[in-house]
Structure 1
Amino acid sequence: MVNSKQVLVSFRRVSKTYDGETLVVKQLDLDIYQGEFLTLLGPSGSGKTTCLMMLAGFEYPTGGEIWLDGVLLNTVPPHQRNIGMVFQNYALFPHLTVAQNVEYPLKVRRVPGADRARRVAAALDMVQMGSFGKRYPAQLSGGQQQRIALARALVFEPRLVLMDEPLGALDKQLREHMQLELKALHERLGVTFVYVTHDQGEALTMSDRVAVFDQGYVQQLDTVDRLYESPCNQFVANFIGDSNRLRGVVSQLGEDYCTLRLADGSEVRGMSVRAPAARDVGGTGRRAQIGEVVSACIRPERMRLIDPASSIDGGVNGVVGRAAGLIYFGDHVRMRCQLPQQDECFVKVPLGTPALEHFVPGVPVALAFEPEHLRVFT
């Protein structure tokens, strides 16, 4: 976790185009703090990897400035930036032993031999690979190769370590284990990590903050809990975790809350969210008007099943529909529900809930949820 707000890296109105026409990164302003674990998250083509490559020095910005600890990096070659890098395919030299791979950055920097041996041993111990120094990359598992690539990135004691989807080739169980290892290593070392992924589970598990990219913009930069609980627009709500979407017409508009009239005539109340125009994929950033059609989102775990014949407490939202099916997840069940003229929604239902005992597709269901959990993008 970040202990201070000392800025280590600054992107200042950075843009990037490869063909001279289409911008893949657009006017990026981003500060990265000393000691934090920052993840750049987004779909393919969103600009996240391009930002990492510009920071590493493998690409140069078309416009704007990139600063590292007070030094302008725009024209500094990669080997002079003192930045560690872990590539997606690890990029280990197959003809060198593990120890020689880790030693390579030190040889390039002309570190004396005795010091090299000491630092290689320390780096391998750091990633729990101290006894593997004489092996070759082909003799290692994917997880072990990932550890060696990380040791090589850390051995010359960089101020900053960049990681380009390093866990993408691992199976699910090993990937989840390595996420915990990376987070623990980061907390132990205090080195700044910048991590690129399209996997929101990785981002939520490891990061102090996450920058969500789409269409060349950072849509939202926030802590993981705020990204999940308070998405700034529909794209972030859909990309981070699971989200149910409701569409309706604004019937009442207050300072912090607004009321939507749904297709069946029922009304729900939720928190108004207005995103900055430059980061809003689906809207303009302006305030909605009475009578305007807008979208809202709510997490599946924030909705609960209630008896369709019962009355709903005042101040609590309620919608009715029909159950469409069940999806078993081990510790819970997700019920698929079809609301009138809405997208199918999901409700997280604990095992043992009475409504599951005599479930029949098509049975009427009623769902209740609090207004503060419904985000209305106005």
Structure 2
Amino acid sequence: MITVPAEVTADTLVGTVRRLVECESPSADRAAVARSAAAVAAIGGEILDRDPEWIVVDGVTHLRWRFGAETRVVVLAHHDTVWPLGTLGRIPFAVHDGILSGPGCFDMKAGLAMAFHAVAGLADRDGVTILVTGDEEIGSPRSRELIEDTARGARAVLVLEASADGGCLKLERKGVSLYELVVDGLAAHAGLEPERGVNATVELAHKVLAVASLADPAIGTSVTPTVAGSGSTTNTVPARASLWVDVRARTAGEQERVDAALRALEPVTPGAVLEVRGGINRPPLEATASASLFLRAQANAARLGQAPLDGVAVGGASDGNFTAGIGVPTLDGLGAVGGGAHAEHEHVVVAELAPRTRLLTALIHELAADEQGDS
């Protein structure tokens, strides 16, 4: 039988979210991320009564709290946001009619606050690790290894990213790949002797169509040409062109199929040279990775007298993709209920903060128990 301490109050959670939101943390600004990490360390230290490990990788600051010698459950969050410095002056933290707003509140500083208070509510924290990274919004280039190393061998990873619409948990996430195709041609005067040039724009046009044809919407694979550029002046045959490509896929097999097809592309314009840069960034979080944890979450919600939980598949990726990719059961979307991630109407439903935190405490308790049968 699970015993969960009385839930933290909504007012306490709102106060913690406010402190986190009011320290701006745009991912690309390492000094801002370092300042945010200091604030997160102080806030988490107060709530958990323990200071974290500071882990700085290539100038990006991450934090980790470990309780006990063995990690059985990882509570995964990030403290960086997409919002540039100064946004808080234009869109300040506010609570009005039960709706909390402010830059980064939904994605994902409310989830971070919930993580701290959920773990603080445990009678026994042994086996629990909280990892808070500082570069999730830009693809986690300097935290991926840390995330995977922290999660490897754990029973479960619980990701405090915001919920999907209506409070749904995120049971599947597509894998993400990012490529840049670079075409080198040969410059020539466009009026005097265009035939002496090798037109990189023409070759790029062929590649745009070839890339787009690799998509398979029927099974959820998107291959999207995005940013393109070529040429230097209006009267010169362009000598260089480039194309960025965003790939999303539900399975690792589909990611690999598209990756192989892109790397197999050959120029069709005589004299052109093609280079394919980039590759697979995040593996998919497939349904098999979350299924057993979702059943546990549903059972705990019912035990706590909460509304039934639903789950959905989403296209966006998170750090949970990495942990699922190494074979660790992973459940995502356990954070705030609200909406507007990355948009100015970003918001959190205050009434959902305490119940969702109570659910998280119960789920962590059950998963971290020394003997799962005792839960």
TM above 0.5, yes or no, is no
Q: With the length of structure 2 as denominator, give the TM-score of the two structures.
A: 0.23
* TM-score with structure 1 setting the length: 0.23
- From the CA coordinates, give the structure whose radius of gyration is larger: 1
Higher relative contact order (CA 8 A, sep 6+): 2
| Higher strand residue share | 1
More helix by share: 2
